[in-house]
Chain A
Amino acid sequence: AQSVTQLGSHVSVSEGALVLLRCNYSSSVPPYLFWYVQYPNQGLQLLLKYTSAATLVKGINGFEAEFKKSETSFHLTKPSAHMSDAAEYFCAVTGLSGGGADGLTFGKGTHLIIQP
């Protein structure tokens, strides 16, 4: 069984400020973890993924996330927010083994608002 909790359905930051989007997961097997971004009227774009290699994962558009097993967390950060970062962000988890028998489980999403 697996699940994802994203803290905060809406996060608002000022342009140039640190972006922190929180994700906690639960998985009965070692997980793969993902962050996806969805701009209005578009599909999902993969920002970054953790697949059991380095715990600090760098993605596109200056985002990175750190896998912390002890905290069961995979928070997404970006040092300096840009107006173009305004979007919906989804954290997701799948089981590492067995071809992901439980599928890909998404969090409920966090809407990131960038204030000018």
Chain B
Amino acid sequence: DTEVTQTPKHLVMGMTNKKSLKCEQHMGHRAMYWYKQKAKKPPELMFVYSYEKLSINESVPSRFSPECPNSSLLNLHLHALQPEDSALYLCASSQAAQAWWDLHFGNGTRLTVT
């Protein structure tokens, strides 16, 4: 079982909907990450939070809005998405920020935009 929990596992939403993805970890990690993975492609970094502050935004469109309410929780708010945003969204955490050698991934949320 993964130590990073993502909910929901699957999500189908229309282009006018507003939805949120949730990620939770209880390992005491202080950095959390969102990745987007299209089918048959490697993951692409979207955001990095360090000590609950946004430290990296990889030029992600504003229809994706991250939020880190506390050190254990990471949300990704979705609004006015496009069909090409359909992908697997992966959350990860690490002990320290940008500790790329220590990433722990969740199982992802499979998002379909109709």
Contacts and interface: CB of A to CB of B under 8 A. Distances in A.
A69 to B, nearest CB: 18
Given A41-B110, A43-B2, A43-B106, A90 B100 contact: no
Interface string A93-104: 010000111011
Interface residues of B, number: 21
A109 B41 CA distance: 7
Interface stretch (A18-26, A44-52, A60-68, A73-81): A44-52
Contacts, number: 51
Contacts of B100: 32, 94, 100, 103-104
Nearest to A109: B42
Interface of B: 2, 4, 6, 40-43, 45, 90, 92, 97-101, 103, 105-108, 110
